[in-house]
Amino acid sequence: MTVLLLLLLSFAQSAASPTALEYVVGAQDKLAITVFDEPSLTKTVTVDGDGSFDFPLIGRVRAAGLTVRAIQQDVTDRLRKDYLVDPQVSIEVETYRSQVVYVTGQVRVPGAVPLMGNMTVMDALARAGSPLEDAGPYLVINRRGAGDGAVKAEPERVSMEDLQSGQAQNIRLRDGDTIYVPKAETFFVTGYVRNPGPYLLDSDDLTVARAISMAGGVTERGSRNRIRITRTVDGEPIVIKTVKPDDRVKPGDSIEVLQRLF
């Protein structure tokens, strides 16, 4: 998890990026508009409920549903057409209010996160304070439907390992998406190991050998070949007596290392 925390910190420090120009503006967003060398045309506006705002000389400007880049180009073109020779217009989103994503589960600051620019999963996690130490080995993205009656996409599962390796850092989020970080499942290691007790199941492919290693390894009196697992199946406990080192550990498993026979 340490590598992931470092990556999240890096993303948080680089929040202001050119991708903000691709942010799709909505009602109640506040835009800071600068027209260079034209102080009377430099102002902050709030997008009204109808999706537009008033601007000096050119009147109403459509904004909702357009990117910051498109609005900037529209204002520039309209000022150039009738009022200024070569207007230099810059627009920044001063306050993001119209669109949010939600980060829930095992993060430090769960809740709504303003959707800023081409926000990625990594960006959203960074703004939610990063995952807690007992976060599971994956997260789930639930996408909101595109409109009333729209069929929602199937939840998207992303492993923390893929986030750390960079394979899933650039997954883009949309308005209304929810990121759920579940709590890691646990398993138990008992018997002749150095540190018996509960442990976090931090990977879908955790093996019995690694689980025993997490518990400090087998003691001098323990057997590496006499291992059994108690597992709950359909609500009933079963005992698995033939266990191999590369068998996968399941949530709730109790791994017991037995004593050596000789």
Point out the least confidently predicted range of 59-73, 124-138, 186-200: 124-138
Q: What is the mean pLDDT of the chain?
A: 87
**Buried/exposed 211-244: b ≥16 CB within 10 Å, e otherwise:** bbebbeebeeebbeebbbbebeeeeeeeeeeeee
* Same domain? 129 vs 10: yes
Which CATH number does the domain housing residue 45 bear? 3.30.1950.10
Dihedrals phi, psi of 157, to nearest 5 degrees: -100, 130
Question: Could you report the per-residue pLDDT of 25-59, keeping only the tens digit for each?
Answer: 988 899 999 999 999 999 999 999 999 999 999 99
The pLDDT of residue 2 is 46
* Same domain? 7 vs 29: no
* Same domain? 112 vs 241: no
Locate 103 and state its tokens.
Answer: 């980060």
Domain extent for 91 = 25-95
Point out the least confidently predicted range of 10-24, 42-56, 116-130: 10-24
Question: Could you report the per-residue pLDDT of 144-186, keeping only the tens digit for each?
Answer: 865 544 556 789 999 888 888 888 778 888 889 999 999 989 9
Dihedrals phi, psi of 93, to nearest 5 degrees: -80, 110
* Same domain? 244 vs 144: no
Which CATH number does the domain housing residue 171 bear? 3.10.560.10
Question: Alpha-carbon distance 181 to 225, whole Å?
Answer: 36
- In this prediction, what percent of the chain has a pLDDT beyond 70? 89
* Same domain? 168 vs 194: no
Statement: the pTM of the whole predicted model exceeds 0.75: no
Number of domains into which the chain is organized: 3
Point out the least confidently predicted range of 24-28, 57-61, 228-232, 238-242: 24-28
pLDDT surpasses 70 at 19: no
